[in-house]
Structure 1
């Protein structure tokens, strides 16, 4: 029994040693992986290498978790509506009064106004801004109560993706801005302060541009734009009042005669030079006669 007991104890001791070695080997990669994750997270929030090492966190201190990006609220769809309309009317002034009443009813306003008067027609071009919810009602009112619609073009652009992208970038820049401001308070050298202040200035400029872009998109979404043109043809005073071949032929004959008269009057306007022609002819003949003698 003693001979069997001694080998059995040796086998048990050897198996226990192997098991402890295996556990040590298996546990070591897990620890190193956790350290790698911690280092990676630390590097995500560490300041740029251009800043002095005095501002870097102490390696002996535990790594701080990275700053979580600011949560962006769910953004509603951003739809920009634009339109172009051309309407033929019988009286520009009357149509302009009707347009004014329709604008008041729909809380719209005129951004720009341009009037053009020619021999053939009158044109009043308006750029109208109207609340997004009243855009369709405004279009229907112009189509039904002002005149005959010659052309109409309505477009809708979805800018939700652009708005969301700009909002997320702006939120991240605000986080980094606060981070660099904290670094500026702990800066100990003039060089570090100048470098950090330059980064802060660039971030603030980029944030101003992003905020301006968001305001512009909001304005285009909240107020739609309509380009309205009121057109009135003038009555022709000639016998051939209808615009056709006869009218065009008469106009061509008239234009030809006017062109001929303009040419003739242009020649007459050179009468001082015409007086020189007889003098030049006389001198040339006299010179030729003298040469023969």
Structure 2
């Protein structure tokens, strides 16, 4: 009985090995049947490994299996700082000299300058770009010695995640671009060449946009922006005015004369009414006299 069971087991194993071998032969035959002309098109190119898998090795492992996903750890924190300050000063020119000295000490520069002189106030507006590490020192210097701070608003924006995403996508697009350029060298037909060239053109445009975005973020991170307004009020009050009596007396005479001239001009502007009213009175009296004669 044991011999019979042993013989049956051997027969089963031999059949299984033959079926496996036949499947492998069938697969080999199938690969030989597919002609080269029906190879996958350009669009069927397998995507490259992501940047995190391709460029970030794990120190504890070696070889291709040692690449792990590390997304945000590869790029330092990207913080954009902006600020707005309004300072009231007694002398615009003096305050501007102080501001220029503070800007020089902090390695900053003025991106835009605008001055407005009105009847009520003088206003000097500066857009200042300062290295990220000197931003706080610049704010403190303006707060301490330039004038009276009327308003101050400081904000920080963490763009690390956006920067990392753009950088990873940019690196992947460059890998695609290199692969398409290699395929262009071995393109067999004009149709394939045109397809590959179109893909290359689109990738180059996307790469330019991504690189521009990274440059913009780097600029905003490396140099913070401060909008500074130096404000001098011109309105005088009786308690604080230092103008003498003679100057104020002359100003009052001038103001009175201007008011009188304005009054005369206002009367002159009513000349049509001065002509119409006497005519109406004359016609009314004439009509009244005729009515009396008829009675």
* TM-score (structure 2 length as normaliser): 0.68
1:203/1:266 Cα in 2 relative to 1: closer, same or farther (>3 Å)? farther
C-alpha distance after superposition, 1:12-46 (max 9, x if no partner): 11122335567789x89xx9xxx9xxxxxxxxxxx
Whether contact under 8 Å (1:55, 1:183) holds in the other structure is no
| RMSD, matched Cα | 3.8
1:68 aligns with 2:77: no
Unaligned runs of 5+ in 2: 29-36, 57-73, 242-254
Tell me which of 10, 16, 29 is aligned to 2:10.
Answer: 16
Task: Name the CA shift for 1:240/1:148 in 2 (closer, same or farther; >3 Å).
Answer: closer
SS in 1 for 2:10: helix
> What is the aligned partner in structure 1 of residue 119 from structure 2?
119
Q: Which residue of 1 aligns with 2:157?
A: 157
Q: CA deviation at 1:161?
A: 0.4
After TM superposition, give the deviation of residue 264 of structure 1 in Å. Answer: 7.2
Distance 2:169 2:284 in 1: 90
Tell whether the 8 Å contact from 1:126 to 1:229 is kept in structure 2 after alignment: yes
Within a 5 Å distance, the mapping from 1:89-104 to structure 2 comes to 89-104=89-104
> Matches of residues 30-109 of structure 1 in structure 2 within 5 Å?
56=41, 67-70=48-51, 71=54, 74-109=74-109
1:55/1:186 contact within 8 Å kept: no
- Answer whether contact 1:89 1:148 (CA < 8 A) is retained: yes
| Residues 114, 126 of structure 1: 8 Å contact kept | yes
Deviation at 1:9, TM superposition (A): 3.0
Task: State whether residues 129 and 223 of structure 1, in contact with CA within 8 Å, keep that contact through their aligned partners in structure 2.
Answer: yes
Residue matched to 1:265 = 265
SS at match of 1:75: coil
2:137 aligned residue: 137
2 CA distance for matches of 1:259 and 1:202?
A: 72
Larger deviation, residues 138-147 vs 165-174: 138-147
What residue in structure 1 maps to residue 34 of structure 2? none
Q: Which residue of 1 aligns with 2:172?
A: 172
Instruction: Indicate conservation of the 8 Å contact 2:48/2:172, yes or no.
Output: no
Alpha carbons of structure 1 residues 21 and 286: separation in structure 2 relative to 1, 3 Å: farther
Structure 2 CA distance for partners of 1:239 and 1:56, relative to 1, 3 Å: closer
Matched, 1:203 2:203: yes
Q: Counterparts of 2:260 and 2:10 in 1: how far apart (Å)?
A: 123
CA contact (8 A) 1:69 1:175 kept: no
**What's the offset of the Cα at 1:194?**
2.3
Distance 1:170 1:108 in 2: 31
* Alpha-carbon offset, residue 133 of structure 1: 0.9
Aligned residue pairs total 245
In 2, Cα distance between the equivalents of 1:18 and 1:259?
124
Secondary structure in 2 matching 1:142: helix
Aligned equivalents of 1:168, 1:213: Cα separation in 2: 13
Q: Is the 8 A contact 1:235 1:241 kept in 2?
A: no
| Structure 1: runs of 5+ lacking an equivalent | 1-6, 36-51, 58-63, 243-254
TM-score, normalised on structure 1?
0.69
Partner-residue secondary structure (3-state), 1:225: strand
